[in-house]
Amino acid sequence: MSTQNDGLVDRIGNVGRQAIGNGWTTERFALLGLLALVVVSVGPQFQVYLFTEFLIIALFAVAFNLLYGYTGLLSFGHAMFFGAGAYGLAIVLRDYQSAIAEIVGTGLAPLATFVVGGIAGVALALLIAIPVGYLSVRLEEIYFALITLAFGMLFYSLLLQDPYGLTNGSDGIFVALGGVELGGTEFRLAGRRIYYYITATVVTISIYGIWRIVNSPFGTICKALRESPDRAAALGINVSVHRWMTFIVSALFVSIAGVLIAGFSSVATPNEAHWSMSATPVVATVIGGASYFGGPIVGAFLYHYVRWGISRFPALEAYWELFFGIMLIVVVLYFKQGAAGGLAMVGAWLRNVQAAYDRGGANAATAFVRESIGEKLGSMMSRSTTGRSDDGGTDR
């Protein structure tokens, strides 16, 4: 009987090691994410609506982190591109849907206009990002952050004041996604499940595209720029050009999120370009962990669903900023690599527990748990004098 139990424990241990260790490859995590998308699609309408918004925020954060996490440049003006994408779609839907209907027919006009509007939103963001990025990437650290903030507020002011009669001022532009007739089938683009499918598809493709970029030779150069721009320059890398290109690519994907948010909320307003909107991907990235590709996704999930959970309690809703402030303080002090880094730390700890068990059984594993917890508590208590986080990360 004991032998059978030992065999069962060994099999469970092997499964655990595979799940926690190298068995969980990027492809398997991606498959798990796609499975989650399918499960949500058959869930309640409200959860579909909530998850759609999360996906848009996640794309916004991942695109932002392409610049911040892989080149070290902190932008406070990325809402400018978010708003550009939203307004590009809104203006095309308002002014050109009739013309497009004459070309493709009334049945396909809403879908064709949505696609053309999305392309227009991305193009508008690129037209802004090219000169803004060219001027901004030549600056370092706080000066880069401030100039992107200044450009962002300039764009916000133009949307709000509407000097050319395009944006409808503070009221914004209503985004009406009509019904599509395709192959004898009719559906509404604005329907929650239909728009969820559209959003999930676009976000999945976009995040996969970003993942390919950061794992390409271009992404390797970006990481080199983050670690040491001077050494990269000594190797013959044009630092300004590569930062500029990264800035433009980041703006492109942020504008895609802006297009999606306009269709999701059925309106494009100056609020999409306000500086406070630029804080959303910053907070999500810090909470999730800028050092990990999936960190902004984890952070966006926590940001969105914790805020939604707080809103379920009217007495607490007015203090949601307080809860996020506390969360940020905890992350900054003790989890420099964010929630994703914390998960990685837990995974490594569990592997060590398993290794201790394999060497000396339950007693050795218990001793290791006690010792490691004691070390972590001691590290947290002495954090102010050591300057290190409890996840092993160093000050950025």
Average pLDDT value over all residues in the chain: 81
How far apart (Å, rounded) are the C-alpha atoms in residues 137 and 239?
9
- Per the structure, the count of domains in the chain is 3
Helix residue ranges, H only, 215-274 = 217-227, 229-234, 239-265
5 pairs with which residues across the strands?
none
> What share of the chain has pLDDT > 70, as a percent?
83
Residue 2 and residue 101 in one domain: no
185 pairs with which residues across the strands?
182
How far apart (Å, rounded) are the C-alpha atoms in residues 314 and 294?
32
Residue 300 and residue 357 in one domain: no
Question: Would you say 242 and 221 are in contact if contact means Cβ atoms under 8 Å apart?
Answer: yes
Residue 236 in tokens: 């013959």
Residue 42 in tokens: 């058959």
Distance of CA 104 to the CA centre of its chain: 35
Give per-residue pLDDT as tens, 153-207: 999 999 999 888 889 888 999 998 888 877 777 878 888 888 998 999 999 999 9
pLDDT exceeds 60 at position 17: no
* Buried/exposed 65-86: b ≥16 CB within 10 Å, e otherwise: bbbbbbbbbbbbbbbbbbbbbb
394 pairs with which residues across the strands?
388
The torsion region of residue 361 among left (phi > 0), alpha (psi -120 to 50) and beta comes to left
DSSP 310-335: HHTSHHHHTTHHHHHHHHHHHHHHH-
Estimate the crossing angle of helix 109-136 against helix 79-95, to 10 degrees. 150
Residue 369 and residue 389 in one domain: yes
Tell which of 280, 309, 334 closes a domain: 334
Question: When comparing pLDDT for 274 and 352, which is higher?
Answer: 274
Cα atoms found within 13 Å of the Cα of residue 192, Cβ hemisphere only: 14
Residue 125 and residue 248 in one domain: yes
How far apart (Å, rounded) are the C-alpha atoms in residues 354 and 345?
14
Domain that holds residue 357: 336-396
Location of structure tokens 């683009």: 189
Tell which of 308, 334, 360 closes a domain: 334
Give per-residue pLDDT as tens, 322-335: 887 888 888 777 77
- pTM of the predicted model, to two decimals? 0.81
Residue 4 and residue 81 in one domain: no
**Cβ burial, residue 26 (10 Å; 0-12/13-18/19+):** exposed
268 pairs with which residues across the strands?
173
Amino acid letter, 3 = T
Q: Is 185 helix (H, G, I), strand (E, B) or coil?
A: strand
How far apart (Å, rounded) are the C-alpha atoms in residues 304 and 53?
8
Residue 120 and residue 17 in one domain: no
Give per-residue pLDDT as tens, 101-118: 888 888 888 889 999 999
Residue 293 and residue 346 in one domain: no
Q: Which of 59, 66, 48 is nearest to 257 (CA)?
A: 59
pLDDT exceeds 80 at position 23: no
Residue 30 and residue 177 in one domain: no
Residue 290 and residue 255 in one domain: yes
Residue 35 and residue 74 in one domain: no
Residue 222 and residue 345 in one domain: no
pLDDT of residue 379: 64
Residue 179 sits in a domain whose CATH number is 1.10.3470
Residue 292 and residue 394 in one domain: no
- Residue 26's contacts (CB-CB under 8 Å, 6 or more residues apart) are 211
How far apart (Å, rounded) are the C-alpha atoms in residues 21 and 159?
50
pLDDT of residue 173: 93
